Amino acid sequence: MNLLSFANDPELDHPIMLLAMSGWVDAASVGTDAIELIAEGGEVIAAFDPDELFDYRSSRPILSFSSGELTDVSWPRLEIVHRSIDGRDLLIATGNEPDFRWQALTREFVKLAERYGVSRFVTLGAVPAPVPHTRPVRVVCTTSDHGLLLDADKTLPNDLVVPGAAVSVLRQGIADSGIPAIGYWVQTPHYLQSPFHPGVLSLTERVGDQVGVAFPIGDLAEKASAQLKEIDRDLSDRADAREYVERLEQMQDKQDEQDEPTPIISFDDLPSPDEIGAEVERFLRSTGDE
């Protein structure tokens, strides 16, 4: 059975393919929020069969009810969207991280890339890190082709072993097929949940630089600024939270002075949520919903 079915088969001029999925490397939904913004207004040209890729007990469909009646079932999805911006053809893969058949999915992506003559493959994502919201957003790269790196791009300099993500597996499969591939990862404050507008803004701008296109962002910059101000207002009434963020600021400033990378998952030098206190924990989680 084919994993991928086509609704349309456009003629494209050496498109760039972008990919982001919900899941392990989509902290605060930054990667998927950014790619949905980029894909907005595009045409869905193909979709993967959800029955072949998802375990509906872990990736449950969303049910909508009205007056006690089931009106809609929204299934987990993985789609290919075509959008042209400033004359640049983009193939945008977006949706849920699959539960099954990652290797078969990789082969499908390679065939898709070869079918349309994809010239470059770019993944978007985000990882939680001990970074404060009060400092510029950090974006790091992973790539086996250093010719893709721009002046502002920084790769992770240290060895890292983490659980796998489908976006990384797919990108490596694409790279192994001979297509240049690069991944961009926002480091999000680990105490914030989605949405994190400053991260979406930084990621969209960085990927735009890589693609050579200024993506339309609407009012995203205003949302990012307003969110940071709202977090700061809430912090002003919570001494423990302010102290916690100040510790993160000191750590990051020291790393910047010494040109050291920020750890992604390591929290050895930080207090635990229990040490911060229940009130601070409620604050840290609620502010991300602004």
Which two structure tokens, joined as six digits, stand for 200?
Answer: 């979406």
Give the pLDDT band of residue 285 (cuts 50, 70, 90).
low
Residue 144 pLDDT class (50, 70, 90 cuts)? confident
Residue 270 pLDDT exceeds 50? no
Beta-strand relationship, 43-48 and 78-85: antiparallel
**What is the model's pLDDT at position 252?**
86
Residue 48's CATH number = 3.40.50.10900
| Residue 195, preceding peptide bond in cis (omega within 30° of 0) | yes
Least confident of 14-18, 64-68, 127-131, 181-185: 127-131
pTM of the model: 0.86
Residue 30, pLDDT score: 96
Q: In the predicted model, is pLDDT for residue 272 greater than 90?
A: no
pLDDT of residue 257: 80
Tally of domains within the chain: 1
pLDDT of 109 reads 97
Other C-beta atoms closer than 10 Å to the C-beta of 212 total: 11
Residues in the chain: 290
**With b meaning 16 or more CB within 10 Å and e meaning fewer, what string describes 238-247?**
bebbeebbee
Structure confidence at residue 286 as a pLDDT band (50, 70, 90): low
Nearest to 182 by CA among 203, 160, 161: 203
User: The domain containing residue 103 runs over which residues?
Assistant: 4-289
Band (pLDDT 50/70/90 cuts) for residue 267 is very low
Q: What is the pLDDT of residues 202-213, one digit of tens each?
A: 999 999 999 999
pLDDT the model gives residue 237: 79
As a whole number, mean pLDDT of residues 141-163 equals 84
**Mean of pLDDT values over 43-57:** 96
What average pLDDT does range 171-200 have in this prediction? Answer: 93
For residue 278, the model assigns a pLDDT of: 45
Q: With contact defined as beta carbons under 8 Å apart, do 117 and 12 qualify?
A: yes
- 120-129/181-189 β-pairing: parallel
Q: What pLDDT band is residue 191 in, cutting at 50, 70 and 90?
A: confident
pLDDT band at 190 (very low <50, low <70, confident <90, very high): confident
- What pLDDT, in 10s, does the model give residues 220-257? 999 999 999 988 888 777 788 888 888 888 888 888 88
* Selection from 61, 22, 54, 17 nearest residue 39 by Cα: 17
Cα(283)–Cα(86) distance, integer angstroms: 42
Spatial distance between the Cα atoms of 137 and 203, rounded to a whole number of angstroms: 9
- Does the pLDDT at position 271 exceed 60? no
Helix axes 30-39, 197-211, angle to 10 degrees: 50
pLDDT in tens, 76-99: 999 999 999 999 999 999 999 999
Q: What is the pLDDT of residue 138?
A: 92
Query: For the chain, what is the HEC assignment?
Result: CCCEEECCCCCCCCCEEEEEEECCCEHHHHHHHHHHHHHCCCEEEEEECHHHHCCCCCCCCEEEEECCEEEEEECCCEEEEEEEECCEEEEEEEEECCCCCHHHHHHHHHHHHHHHCCCEEEEEEEEEECCCCCCCCEEEEEECCHHHCCCCCCECCCCCCCCCCHHHHHHHHHHHCCCCEEEEEEEEECCCCCCCHHHHHHHHHHHHHHHCCCCCCCCHHHHHHHHHHHHHHHHCCCHHHHHHHHHHHHHHHHHHHCCCCCCCCCCCCCCCHHHHCHHHHHHHHHHHHC
Residue predicted with more confidence, 150 or 262: 150
